[in-house]
Structure 1
Amino acid sequence: MTQLLNDLRNILVTTNKACPTGQDVVLYILPIFALQYLMGVLVQLKNTAYLRIALLPTMPLIAMRALLALDFSCGKLEQAQSNAIFFTHLISVTARVAICAVARQAYRRDNVREAESTSIPLALWNAWDLLLNLRGIGWDWSQGIPIPRSSLAARSRVQFLLFSFIRAVVFALAFDALTEAVRTFFLYTTPLNGDTIFNQSLVSIPRYLRAFGIAYLTVWLAYFGMEWVYNLLAVICVIIFYQHPSQWPPLFDKPWLSTSLSDLWGRRWHQMLRYSFVWVGGVPLSYLFGRAGLILGTFLMSGLFHDIEIRAIGRGGNSLVEVGFFVMNGVGILVERAWANARGCRVRGIYGWIWTFSWLALWGMPVVDQWAKSGRFGFDTIPGGFKPAMSLLSLVLPSGVDKGFAVNCLCFGISLPFLVYSLFTLPT
């Protein structure tokens, strides 16, 4: 027990860990992948419940073994985000394996007849899809997860690949530009060292306007960061695994048009981890507190997930801030439900939009401040430290022009008019 507690304390410490080698991948990563794949096969077959439950304790053990041994940043602070990605990926995999282990019914694809679903060769093939299909697209277990409609799904495979690749490039450029724009707010400090977004040398109004500007850019930064990776993965999986374009619908559904917190988190924001958070956090609490427990438990699990992710960077964290943001969004949804029951109408329209983003700003700005203090804005945005947006600006701007000022004008000059225009298209 003492050794386990020591391991849990040391799991975020990178000083005694090794930079991964090919041998480490075989020893530490391959067993995790193999067990996840095996569980994906078994969950499609009948009469495997006892075997799945027997295998379940193995996953957290081998995941912890890898987390205690490997440092994907290789001691370089600017690459610390790679450890955060590794941590959260293993947490996600462990949660999904646990859900598969306790599944009461065998998973079945929508295009497979029940008689064929017990085929072992078919289960071996479909398990590859389960490895990446976080939203359960094309599977019977994903009912209730909203999937945005895609304008590319009906196109040919070549057209889909072309459009997805172009979008990945554009989103990567936007992500890099927004990161550089945020960094310009820390001219007198090094973003990698960490600093608060609330500049105490400024009086109240400029101080909070500056902090709000950083938070505003950070939201777009997070959006484009996830979008470019998602579109790149779509290209890779459609080529290598020959997946159909319909298996890669849009990741988001225009979250800037959200007119309520329920609309944002229940439909418009990405739903990649929704199933895991609901079953690991929401369902257990729903047995105690009903619908409110389901909502708060889901957001609590999301908060813990993101808190671990920020701590995996190696700069500590603030659980009250990180977990509190998500829990308070759950509280906000309960407030909306109470409003709908009392007034007979849901939160919507322009007033719903104001309510939604005011609530997000209230609880979200401390989260962005925590990100800044951890040095997150100084990390490499693209592997190798390549900065494509700034490289392009260097080609088109005359020498002597402040590129930081130019990228700020570009980011605010495009996003703000777009946002204002979008307000006229809000659903009523």
Structure 2
Amino acid sequence: MANLNTGAVEGRAPLNALTQLLLPEIALPVLVAARLPFPVKAAASVVLLGSILRTFLTATSGVVVNDYAIGSAVLGNTFFNILLFVWITDPMVEFRYLRDADPSPLASRSFLARLYNSLRVIRNYRLIGWNTQIPSVPLPFKGTRTQFLYHRVKQFLWSFVLTDFTESYVYPFYHLYVPGSTDPPLPTGFDGLLLRSWNALVWLAMTYAILKMYYEAASLLAVGLGLSRPEDWPDMFGNWSDAYTIRRLWGRTWHQNLRRHFSYWGKLVVRTLHIKRGTWLSSQTQVYTAFLLSALIHSFGDLMLGRQHFGRSFPFFLANAMAITFEDAVIALGQSLGLGFGKEGPTRAVRLLGYAWVIFWVRYSAPMYVDWMFESGVVENPVLTFSPTRTLVMPWL
């Protein structure tokens, strides 16, 4: 049984970073770059997939939050990258970098050139600059490298401050999320509703700030060292003003790092089921495919914490798919009646109503995911090892 608070998972072997983390990350780009017959590549990919599944089931880093991140963000992503780039599409044939000075197909280039480009594809989650770039990516930065670095440093500092502020609430007041045996119970009634709503808002802001901070640090390093261009690093998140529906919240405002999986798998399912493209059924099929994939990727993190936890992340993602179906039906009804929709889209009143709906839904659905994160011990230690707020401000309060 897992002792989640200490991070120890009984019966599991210590994670070998070299063979269980680094090896799959090296093997996949080599496999993509190699011009081997498909049966050979498929067989090799099955071995890789099996080794990753074995890691999910038998290994532990000894730290709960690391296990969850490895299972979902690292190996979970790699698992579906293998399926995508070996089984569904061939980047060496179908992909083209739009700013590439060499017009020749990737498949015709040397092995080292193919390997370099396969690495670029695999690590470029939104496929920025490629002919397969996902939709709804924020506009690229317009300006010089120096201007980009100055702009991105300001963004990074803002994200750092937001991370510090939110972590300075979540961790010192952990008992307001998960009361211990000696802590007073959380209030009920309207006071309890307000507290839980505030807690959910702070946790979501913390998650947003941490993801944004890491991305901005990576972009500063890559552009500062001359490894990539400013236009290769558009903002990670879209505009919050776009989030007046649940569909737009997840499809435009939130990060799109997994969308390439959703797009290819969604189209594959629609094509396999012979569903006509552009129809309501096609749209809904792709929505449920996307959220099912997201649930699976996050549930690999559950699995790293123990087999008994597999699927704890599912309800949140599937509930969001159902919420989109509901709102699509309401929007279609409103449009058919001519209510609140003009030639330029929804009216201001409808957008305000939409924002209220999104806030209500996020408040209602977030505990499905947030509560599980706290109960499992995933949210246990702050990201920032040094906190100006906790070190310099809170002792005086």
TM-score normalised over the length of structure 1: 0.75
Give 1:64 shift. Answer: 3.4
Tell me the residue number matched to 1:306.
298
Q: Secondary structure at the match of 1:161?
A: helix
Give 1:309 shift. Answer: 2.6
Match of 2:260 among 275, 290, 300: 275
Q: Which amino acid aligns with 2:203?
A: T
Q: Secondary structure at the match of 1:378?
A: coil
Q: Which amino acid aligns with 2:21?
A: I
Q: Which runs of 5+ in 2 are unaligned?
A: 1-6, 274-280, 336-340
- Change in Cα spacing, 1:135 to 1:53, as seen in structure 2 (3 Å) is same
Q: Secondary structure at the match of 1:271?
A: coil
Partners of 1:263 and 1:100 lie apart in 2 by 27
Partners of 2:65 and 2:129 lie apart in 1 by 32
Tell me the residue number matched to 1:64.
53
Partners of 1:36 and 1:172 lie apart in 2 by 33
CA contact (8 A) 2:291 2:317 kept: yes
| Per-residue deviation, residues 268-304 of structure 1 (Å, max 9, x unmatched) | 1110011113434674377446332221121122123
Pair 1:80-2:82 in alignment: no
CA contact (8 A) 1:286 1:294 kept: no
Tell me the residue number matched to 2:30.
38
Pair 1:156-2:144 in alignment: yes
Match of 1:373 among 372, 375, 389: 375
| Per-residue deviation, residues 176-215 of structure 1 (Å, max 9, x unmatched) | 320221234445x8x7x8769x974523111121111100
Give 1:92 shift. Answer: 0.3
Pair 1:325-2:316 in alignment: yes
Partners of 2:196 and 2:84 lie apart in 1 by 40
Match of 1:202 among 178, 187, 193: 187
Partners of 1:179 and 1:56 lie apart in 2 by 40
Deviates more, 1:124-133 or 1:107-116: 107-116
Q: Secondary structure at the match of 2:332?
A: helix
| Per-residue deviation, residues 332-353 of structure 1 (Å, max 9, x unmatched) | 2222322233222466410111
RMSD value over aligned CA atoms? 3.2
Pair 1:135-2:137 in alignment: no
| Per-residue deviation, residues 50-72 of structure 1 (Å, max 9, x unmatched) | 44323221221232354456533
State the aligned residue count.
365
Partners of 1:48 and 1:299 lie apart in 2 by 32
Q: Which amino acid aligns with 1:268?
A: T
Report sequence identity in percent.
18
Partners of 1:275 and 1:195 lie apart in 2 by 41
Pair 1:219-2:204 in alignment: yes
- Change in Cα spacing, 1:69 to 1:362, as seen in structure 2 (3 Å) is closer
Pair 1:386-2:375 in alignment: no
Partners of 1:68 and 1:317 lie apart in 2 by 11
Partners of 1:108 and 1:25 lie apart in 2 by 32
CA contact (8 A) 1:282 1:298 kept: no
Q: Secondary structure at the match of 1:141?
A: coil
- Change in Cα spacing, 1:52 to 1:213, as seen in structure 2 (3 Å) is same
CA contact (8 A) 2:287 2:321 kept: yes
Partners of 1:311 and 1:215 lie apart in 2 by 24
Tell me the residue number matched to 1:243.
228
CA contact (8 A) 2:71 2:298 kept: no
Tell me the residue number matched to 2:163.
175
- Change in Cα spacing, 1:369 to 1:283, as seen in structure 2 (3 Å) is same
Tell me the residue number matched to 1:15.
10
Tell me the residue number matched to 1:254.
239
Q: Which runs of 5+ in 1 are unaligned?
A: 1-11, 403-428
Deviates more, 1:91-100 or 1:328-337: 328-337
